Chains A and B, each alone.
Chain A
Amino acid sequence: MSELPGDLKYTNEHEWLRQEEDGTVTIGITDHAQSALGDLVYVELPEIGLEVEAGGEMAVVESVKAASDVYAPISGEVVAVNEDLADDPEKINADAYGDGWIVRMKPSGDGETMTPDEYQAFLDELED
């Protein structure tokens, strides 16, 4: 398994968050999540402008194997979605922390997140 990017925060639902300079937060699923799901074949993206509470359903990623909900790790408004995923959902498999980003939110409230070390420890525990 590759090393976790150090500049991101993580959730126990296997999402990552990146604080952008303009105050928005970019969100995707982790490499662990994409690997567990297998090849992705469809991503259902939210509408721009959607207001979500932390923990609410925000998107759905579907792999050859199964459908999996993506939950909002923080409260806020969806200000951008990765339209490229409509035609190339496998971008998430190829580059989960980069081209495979899913949504960008304008935060209005925090959710529970982990540091890279904490998430790594969380993953290690899952392995056992």
Chain B
Amino acid sequence: MGKKTPLYDAHAEAGAKIVDFGGWDMPLHYGSQLEEHHVVRQEAGAFDVSHMTVVDVTGAGALEFLRHLLANDVARLKEAGKALYSCMLNHNGCVIDDLITYYLGPDRYRVVVNAATRDKDIAWINEQAGSFDVDVSERPELAMIAVQGPKARELAANVLAEEWRDKALALKPFYALEADDLFIARTGYTGEDGWEIVMPAEQATDLWNRFVDVGIRPCGLGARDTLRLEAGMNLYGSDMDETISPLEAGLGWTLAWDPEERDFIGRGPLTEMRANKGRHQFAGLLLEGKGVLRDHMRVVVEGVGDGEITSGGFSPTLQRSIAMARIPAGDYDRAQVEVRNKLLDVRVVKMPFVRNGKAQIEI
């Protein structure tokens, strides 16, 4: 048996199919992964993401420390509540984890990292914090629920204390606010509008049940994965890891090169990689015919070379198979993927595949 979130009993009671995810017993789906996917694209779904790790970084050296630790530049966060997506790199310029940092106020930052990478992340952060005037505190007593979908905010607002409703609804994308015990962020991992809400663990079940009562459907990690794939959002461990740089994972946009004097971990090797122009590019694939693209399948670009699918699956919105892939650099829009010894035609497309309920590519 794995670790359980405070919502485990609620999932079991709701008939969830429970699977192991990074050492946690998590709901895969509550009956139909496809239905849950469509609910989030069209209405509102709730995800238990309490397995994710919340780390608060505080102290006079917090800004300076995070500017060294992260490849994106936390100094860009000027307003309280503003969030920033970033990679945390090793000394080779490859990815230890991807994370979101929230600026809570002077000398106070909140970092949310992945569940499966928790141990190594905490160890790395503490190791790097050594010479800085910071306090790094993991917050295992907190739970986290994501409500996602076009109706998610409007429905979830009914559950909030009245004094916070308008303020929460007024949050701009990628901003958060502290509302008494709750931390409400307009962020997510589905390509839809919504909130990610952090709360004390003992309040999680009550909040979850109230979200369900106002019409937000419980959704499992299965739908979360197809939603993020359609949204063109990377999954750590599949699309990038400690041997892959952000430049080879479509995450170049998260690297803050200016100011030049900012000495973030991995900057040296990353600068070299950038100058040498990588041999790979990261792109989306759309399967032309029937079938399903899967992780690790070989991509064949005639006359150019081979690549590999990093995340593949079926897109419930497009009703076609899609994938994210690391493929040879070059200017081409057709390729093939080896599926059970057959080469199937794919189109190379710009991601995302789907955003805010709508297809972003032509089928």
Q: Do A and B come from one complex?
A: yes
Residues A42 and B34 in contact in the complex (CB < 8 Å), given A64-B222, A64-B314, A65-B222:
no
Residues A86 and B313 in contact in the complex (CB < 8 Å), given A38-B222, A39-B34, A65-B222:
no
**From residue 50 to 73 of chain A, which have CB atoms closer than 8 A to chain B?**
60, 62, 64-67
Contacts of B321 in A (CB 8 A): 42
Task: State the CA gap A38–B225 with chains docked (Å).
Answer: 14
Cβ contact within 8 Å between B222 and A67: no
Shortest Cβ distance from A86 into B: residue = B290
Task: State the CA gap A93–B34 with chains docked (Å).
Answer: 12
Cβ contact within 8 Å between A62 and B33: no
Q: Which of B17, B314, B340 has the most CB of A within 10 A?
A: B314
Task: State the CA gap A41–B222 with chains docked (Å).
Answer: 14
Task: State the CA gap A44–B17 with chains docked (Å).
Answer: 26
Contacts of B314 in A (CB 8 A): 41-42, 62, 64
Task: State the CA gap A38–B32 with chains docked (Å).
Answer: 7
Cβ contact within 8 Å between B291 and A64: no
B291 is contacted by which of A39, A42, A90 (Cβ under 8 Å)? A42
Q: Is B28 an interface residue (CB 8 A)?
A: yes
How far in angstroms is the closest Cβ of chain B from A122? 21
Residues A44 and B291 in contact in the complex (CB < 8 Å), given A60-B340, A64-B314, A65-B222:
yes
Q: Is B12 an interface residue (CB 8 A)?
A: no
Task: State the CA gap A64–B38 with chains docked (Å).
Answer: 13
Cβ contact within 8 Å between B340 and A64: no
Contacts of B222 in A (CB 8 A): 38, 64-65
How far in angstroms is the closest Cβ of chain B from A11? 22
How far in angstroms is the closest Cβ of chain B from A95? 14
How far in angstroms is the closest Cβ of chain B from A78? 18
**From residue 78 to 92 of chain A, which have CB atoms closer than 8 A to chain B?**
86, 90
Residues A67 and B34 in contact in the complex (CB < 8 Å), given A38-B29, A60-B340:
no
Contacts of B291 in A (CB 8 A): 42, 44, 62
How far in angstroms is the closest Cβ of chain A from B266? 34
**From residue 23 to 52 of chain B, which have CB atoms closer than 8 A to chain A?**
28-29, 32-34
Chain B contact residues: helix, strand, loop or mixed? mixed
Cβ contact within 8 Å between B292 and A38: no
Cβ contact within 8 Å between B32 and A39: yes
How far in angstroms is the closest Cβ of chain B from A20? 28
Shortest Cβ distance from A60 into B: residue = B340
Contacts of B17 in A (CB 8 A): 38
Against B, the Cβ 8 Å flags (1 = close, 0 = not) of A13-41 are 00000000000000000000000001101
Q: Is B226 an interface residue (CB 8 A)?
A: yes
Task: State the CA gap A85–B267 with chains docked (Å).
Answer: 52
Cβ contact within 8 Å between A64 and B290: no
Contacts of A39 in B (CB 8 A): 32-34
Cβ contact within 8 Å between B226 and A64: yes
Cβ contact within 8 Å between A38 and B290: no
Task: State the CA gap A90–B17 with chains docked (Å).
Answer: 18
Q: Is B298 an interface residue (CB 8 A)?
A: no
**From residue 53 to 112 of chain B, which have CB atoms closer than 8 A to chain A?**
none
How far in angstroms is the closest Cβ of chain A from B216? 21
A67 is contacted by which of B29, B33, B294, B316 (Cβ under 8 Å)? B294
Shortest Cβ distance from A93 into B: residue = B32
How far in angstroms is the closest Cβ of chain B from A39? 4
Residues A64 and B34 in contact in the complex (CB < 8 Å), given A38-B222, A42-B314:
yes
Task: State the CA gap A90–B222 with chains docked (Å).
Answer: 16
Task: State the CA gap A65–B17 with chains docked (Å).
Answer: 13
Cβ contact within 8 Å between A38 and B294: no
Contacts of A60 in B (CB 8 A): 340
6 A-B contacts (beta carbon < 8 Å): A41-B292, A42-B292, A44-B291, A64-B226, A67-B292, A67-B340
B interface residue numbers (CB < 8 A to A): 17, 28-29, 32-34, 222, 226, 290-292, 294, 313-314, 316, 321, 340
Q: A62-B292, A65-B33, A90-B34 are known contacts; what are 10 more A-B pairs with Cβ within 8 Å?
A: A38-B28, A60-B340, A62-B314, A64-B33, A64-B34, A64-B222, A64-B313, A67-B294, A67-B340, A86-B290
A interface residue numbers (CB < 8 A to B): 38-39, 41-42, 44, 60, 62, 64-67, 86, 90, 93
A-B pairs with lowest CB-CB distance, top 5:
A41-B314, A39-B34, A62-B292, A64-B33, A39-B33
